[in-house]
């Protein structure tokens, strides 16, 4: 039976990748930084699906240390490298985030090469594609790369440099190791347990009224379950080797359009969702003093539209609509109290 390693199984995308691999019939090994998270992860996964518990193994490994990666990759056929530093809470040290993301990718790739792994699928981000460019009329594609010299935020810079390092490693030192990369846009979808993924905070803020007006920009959106499905397709399809795949559902939507969908789909339960978009000039002024708005400054006024045509054409991938995904996201947040005032 095929053995799959998913790094960062306790994360939002990682957890759904573990579940997708199990449901596809693979044996799964997943890494967590602290084994104390292992039991909680099992509980969340069993609440979402029925599977033989013996097919899931949880091991400890950290992106910042070489310890554990050899045993984690031993006997593995495929690796889904999902783990990466994220924007959780508090100030961000750019260099620390870049070093952890890039160093972690190289640790995993070296271990995978040493273990004779066939292919690694790396979770990159649309942030490695769409930032630092002049406005353009056509959607971004996998041919585009973020310009890290254009003042992009730390997270997007870290994902760009980590993905570039991965491609350089495979080309120069991979010794036949295959690589495919996935670039999800803003990720929606239901929670697996009590989590607080940064990508869902905007939706929670719309539901609980803490986001009374929408920032002025547009971006792509994609369901976490479809992101996991694309990882599995890229893992086994021969056509995926050596390729990048953007994961997005349709064209980009502005934040105010998301709020409108929430009100239409949820009615009174989304009564606090904003109805207005903040003027661009005001948003830029607020970005000088407001930490939340400052984090959005590089994308204010932009339409970060990208295309998933390649994933659909090459791998037969078919994502959910944003409206359906957003409704599932909101119901999940409300049921778990994550959108409470």
- pLDDT tens digits for 279-325? 999 989 988 988 777 777 878 888 999 999 999 999 999 999 999 99
| Whole-number Å distance between alpha carbons of 189 and 199 | 10
Question: pLDDT value at position 139?
Answer: 96
Handedness of CA 156, 162, 165, 171 (dihedral sign): negative
Question: Mind listing the pLDDT tens digit for each residue in 222-253?
Answer: 999 999 999 999 999 999 999 999 999 999 99
Residue 111 has pLDDT above 60, yes or no: yes
Residue 341 has pLDDT above 70, yes or no: no
Residue 183 has pLDDT above 70, yes or no: yes
Provide Rg for the chain, Cα atoms. Answer: 19
Total residues belonging to the chain = 341
Do residues 115 and 75 lie in contact, with contact meaning Cβ atoms separated by under 8 Å? yes
Q: What is the mean pLDDT of the chain?
A: 93
- What single-letter DSSP state applies at residue 182? E
Q: 218-219 and 253-254: which strand pairing?
A: antiparallel
90 confidence band (pLDDT: 50, 70, 90):
low
Domains of the chain by start residue, with CATH: 3-190+221-249+305-320 (3.40.50.720)
What does the pLDDT average to over 63-88? 91
Question: pLDDT value at position 16?
Answer: 97
């Amino acid at each position: 039976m095929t053995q799959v390693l998913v790094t960062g199984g306790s994360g939002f995308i990682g957890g759904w990748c573990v579940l997708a691999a199990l449901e596809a019939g693979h044996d799964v090994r997943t890494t967590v930084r602290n084994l104390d998270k292992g039991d909680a992860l099992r509980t969340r996964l069993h609440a979402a699906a029925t599977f033989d518990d013996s097919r899931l193994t949880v091991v400890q490994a950290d992106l910042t240390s070489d310890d554990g990666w050899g045993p984690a990759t031993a006997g593995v056929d495929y690796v889904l490298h999902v783990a990466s530093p994220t924007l959780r809470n508090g100030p961000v040290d750019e260099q620390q985030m870049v070093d952890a993301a890039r160093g972690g990718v190289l640790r995993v790739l070296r271990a995978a090469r040493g273990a004779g792994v066939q292919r690694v699928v790396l979770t990159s981000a649309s942030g490695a594609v769409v930032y630092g460019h002049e406005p353009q009329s056509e959607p971004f594609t996998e041919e585009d790369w973020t310009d890290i010299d254009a003042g992009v935020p730390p997270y997007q810079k870290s994902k760009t440099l980590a993905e570039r390092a991965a491609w350089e490693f495979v080309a120069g030192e991979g010794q036949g190791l295959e690589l495919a990369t996935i670039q999800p846009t803003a990720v929606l979808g239901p929670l697996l347990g009590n989590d607080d993924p940064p990508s869902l905070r905007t939706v929670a803020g719309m539901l609980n009224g803490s986001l009374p007006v929408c920032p002025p920009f547009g971006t792509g959106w994609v369901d976490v379950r479809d992101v996991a499905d694309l990882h599995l397709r890229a893992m086994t399809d021969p056509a995926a080797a050596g390729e990048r795949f953007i994961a997005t559902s349709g064209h980009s939507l502005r934040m105010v359009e998301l709020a409108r969908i929430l009100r239409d789909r949820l009615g009174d339960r989304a009564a606090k969702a904003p109805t207005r978009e903040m003027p661009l000039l005001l948003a830029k002024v607020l970005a000088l003093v407001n930490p939340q708005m400052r984090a959005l400054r590089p994308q204010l006024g932009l339409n970060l539209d990208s295309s998933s045509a390649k994933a659909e054409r090459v791998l037969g991938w078919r994502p959910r609509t944003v409206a359906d995904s957003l409704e599932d996201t909101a119901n999940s947040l409300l049921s778990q109290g994550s959108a409470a005032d």
